[in-house]
């Protein structure tokens, strides 16, 4: 029963949340600042920075929004994400999720 309630609640939140169709080409342009840590194609050469290539679109968007809201804390990423719009986030998520 708990799983059913959780599934219904999750679906309700997802349906109520604004959804932006990301533009991978615009995300690629916007990703230039991300490349310093996460690599030009989303594969980091430095082990402490995560690979973004191939991550799920919703996961990338959620993490960026969590950095902006303070739900997830990292001084560097919070500062990097602070200036992103919802469209920027959707575009970056579309770009990185499109890389195989």
Query: Within a domain: residue 7?
Result: no
In a domain, 6, yes or no: no
In a domain, 31, yes or no: yes
Please report whether residue 32 resides in a domain: yes
At residue 16, the pLDDT reads: 42
Instruction: For residue 83, tell me if it sits in a domain.
Output: yes
> pLDDT 10s digit of each residue in the chain, 100 long?
666 565 555 555 444 444 558 999 999 999 999 999 999 999 999 999 999 999 999 999 999 999 999 999 999 999 999 999 999 999 999 999 999 8
Q: Is residue 87 part of a domain?
A: yes
pTM: predicted TM-score of the whole model, two decimal places: 0.79
Note the maximum CA span of the chain: 46
pLDDT at position 21 is: 86
36: in domain: yes
The CB-side HSE value for 57 (13 A sphere, CA atoms) comes to 15
**Which long-range CB contacts under 8 A does 76-80 form with residues at least 24 apart?**
76/37, 80/33, 80/34
On whether residue 12 sits in a domain, the answer given is: no
* Predicted local confidence at residue 98, as pLDDT: 97
pLDDT, residue 15, reads 44
State the pLDDT at residue 43. 97
Q: In which domain, by residue range, is 93 found?
A: 22-98
> In the chain, how many domains are there?
1
* CATH number reported for the structural domain that contains residue 51 in this entry: 1.10.760.10
């Amino acid at each position: 029963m708990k799983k059913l309630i959780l599934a219904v609640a999750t679906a309700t939140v997802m349906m109520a949340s604004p959804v932006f169709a990301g533009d991978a080409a615009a995300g690629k342009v916007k990703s230039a600042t991300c490349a310093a840590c996460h690599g030009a194609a989303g594969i980091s050469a430095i082990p402490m920075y995560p690979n973004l290539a191939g991550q799920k679109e919703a996961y990338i968007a959620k993490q960026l929004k969590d950095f902006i809201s303070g739900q997830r804390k990292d001084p560097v990423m919070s500062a990097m994400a602070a200036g992103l719009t919802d469209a920027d986030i959707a575009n970056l998520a579309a770009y990185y999720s499109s890389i195989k």
